[in-house]
Amino acid sequence: MENETSAVDGQAENIPEIIVPKASLPAFDHLLEDVTSKKTQHERNDPSHANLLRRRLAPPAIVPTIDGLGFTTARAKRERSISYTLFTARSRTRKLSCAAHESLFKTQRIEDSRRYRRAESQASCIMAGARVKAFAILCMVALCLHMADAQVRGLRVNYYQRSCPRAEQIIRTAVQNGFNSDPTIPAGLIRMLFHDCFVRGCDASVLLDNADSEKLGAPNANSLRGFEVLDAAKSALEAACPGVVSCADVIAYAARDAMEVAGTVKVPNWLGGRKDGSTSVSAETLTELPAPFSNFTTLQRAFERKGLNQADLVILSGAHTIGIARCGIILQRIYNFKGTGQADPAINPAYVQTLRNLCPSNAPGKQINMEMLTPTKIDANYFNDVQAGRGLFESDNALRTTPIGRSLVSVYRVPQVFNAAFVASMRKMASIGVLTGSNGKIRTKCNIA
């Protein structure tokens, strides 16, 4: 793995190795069920539909569902979700060519046009072990784009179109202004969404002030940033449409805008309609947000509890492609890992030296860029770093400590794959535990319950 040539530019000859343990490749019929479960009545009565798919997807051994890998698609309303199909290039019997799949999906699309027009489908993601041509990765990603349904009751696109038509624009202006005065602010806003949604769902509990609020929790205190941008947005919203736009939506839209401002992708069809909660407890930040010292299993469980899978974990960790961290979090890791007096052996030695230069042992409060090459740009560089042992935290490095994690890290180094997957998982995260309808409220001031 260490000797791989980067396939990021899509031209490299040496291809990243995609290894998935056979044991984790689930049954073919599961995929077939996924694909056919949304059949129309007519199609349900027509067994040839299933047979057609069954023939096309054969042989079973190479068409696993990716449930176990965390690749099963979310259903996202009127949204494109992406799934990845990577195929072994070695064994003929275990290989389907890009062209074959293109024709499969095209044909399927025609046959199922009514279903697709209803914007409801699922994609399946397949990873199989072998060397994969970089162009095939991109090709498969393009082929596997599917319309899907988020099915989060109460959330919808253009939620404020009638009640506050300028709402999204107002939030965008606040984010753009924040970015203009501090190009690192998108990082704070994206992390704000993560810290809000993982604690009590995306209910803006992270913005509440009380004697024991989330803001005071260890992961947040003196660390979370972007409050002033959210306040500016909320003030402007209250002036334009009093009592209409929730603080939870302000956080979610601001994170969306932050992605666009700092990234290279458009994020269409972002959902609105979240309501605000009234409770905020500092201790919950410690139980719900994973620590930077976590291993893969701990991270996986923390994400699973929120309905996010391993693929979400890995791609969302890619948010560490932007933003800043305090040296205090890594001092032990680079100077005295587990009391050894040495750096964590998992860190690339050259990177240890870089980090020591940036973070003297007596400067815990100093801030450094989380990703050194393009610290204000959301891109796939983080995954090149992780693969090369340059993950800043143990939790970043943990992503390459399991076969599936390593495969995902390798796949997400491809910019197009990274972009689409990051957006898709951010959408998922922005829907965790939302309060909708009469289950929540609209706070007039985001810091007051």
Residue ranges of the annotated binding site are 196, 199, 201, 203, 205, 214, 290, 320-321, 374, 379
- Closer CB to ligand HEM, residue 31 or residue 370? 370
The owner of tokens 């400590």 is: 401
Shortest Cβ 151–ligand HEM spacing (Å): 22
Helices (H) and strands (E) in the chain, counts: 19, 10
In the bound complex, what is the minimum distance in angstroms from residue 238's beta carbon to ligand HEM? Answer: 26
The only residue of 322, 380, 411, 420 in contact with ligand HEM, by rule CB under 6 A = 322
Closest CA to 310 of 393, 392, 399: 399
Determine, following the binding rule CB under 6 A, whether residue 258 of this chain makes contact with ligand HEM: no
Site for ligand HEM in 8-37 (CB under 6 A): none
Of 96 and 359, the one with the shorter C-beta distance to ligand HEM is 359
Q: Which amino acid is at 231?
A: D
Cβ nearer to ligand HEM, comparing 27 with 221: 221
Q: Which of 187, 232, 237, 250 binds ligand HEM (CB under 6 A)?
A: 187
> If binding is defined by CB under 6 A, does position 320 make contact with ligand HEM?
yes
Task: Report the site for ligand HEM in 365-394 (rule: CB under 6 A).
Answer: 370, 393
Touching ligand HEM, residues 167-186 (CB under 6 A):
184
In the complex with ligand HEM, the residue whose CB is nearer, 125 or 325, is: 325
**Binding track over 206-245 against ligand HEM, x by CB under 6 A:** -----------------x-x--------------------
Instruction: Please report how the helices 227-240 and 167-181 are oriented relative to each other, as an axis angle in degrees rounded to 10.
Output: 150
Q: How many CB atoms lie within 10 A of CB 338?
A: 9
Q: What is the DSSP letter of 266?
A: -
The span from the CA of 419 to the CA of 56, in Å, is 29
d(CA 31, CA 123): 9
Which parts of 37-166 fold into alpha helices (H)?
41-44, 47-57, 98-111, 113-117, 134-143
Copy the structure tokens of residue 106. Answer: 């095209």
Q: Are 344 and 208 in contact (CB under 8 A)?
A: no
- What are the residue numbers of the active site? 195
Stretch that binds ligand HEM, among 76-84, 208-216, 236-244, 288-296 (CB under 6 A): 288-296
* Residue 190 interacting with ligand HEM (CB under 6 A): yes
Residue type, 132: V
Does residue number 62 form part of the binding site for ligand HEM (CB under 6 A)?
Answer: no
Count residues binding ligand HEM (CB under 6 A).
Answer: 26
Q: How far apart are the first and last CA of the chain?
A: 51
Q: What angle do CA 99, 264, 396 make, to 5 degrees?
A: 90
Interaction of residue 188 with ligand HEM, rule CB under 6 A: yes
Which of these, 105, 110, 118, lies nearest to 151 by C-alpha position? 118
Contact with ligand HEM (CB under 6 A) among 294, 295, 348, 354: 294
Q: Is 314 in the site for ligand HEM (CB under 6 A)?
A: no
Residue, CB closest to ligand HEM:
323
* Cβ proximity to ligand HEM, 187 vs 261, nearer residue: 187
Q: Is 410 left (phi over 0), alpha (psi -120 to 50) or beta?
A: alpha
Rounded Cα distance, 295 and 238, in Å = 43
The reply on whether position 292 binds ligand HEM by CB under 6 A is yes
405 scored as a contact of ligand HEM (CB under 6 A): no
DSSP 55: H
Choose between 123 and 299: whose C-beta lies nearer to ligand HEM. 299
In Å, how far are 57, 97, 120, 274, 337 from 136, measured between CA atoms? 18, 8, 26, 39, 41
- The residue ranges that bind ligand HEM (CB under 6 A) are 184, 187-188, 190-191, 194, 223, 225, 290-292, 294, 299, 316-317, 319-320, 322-326, 329, 370, 393, 395
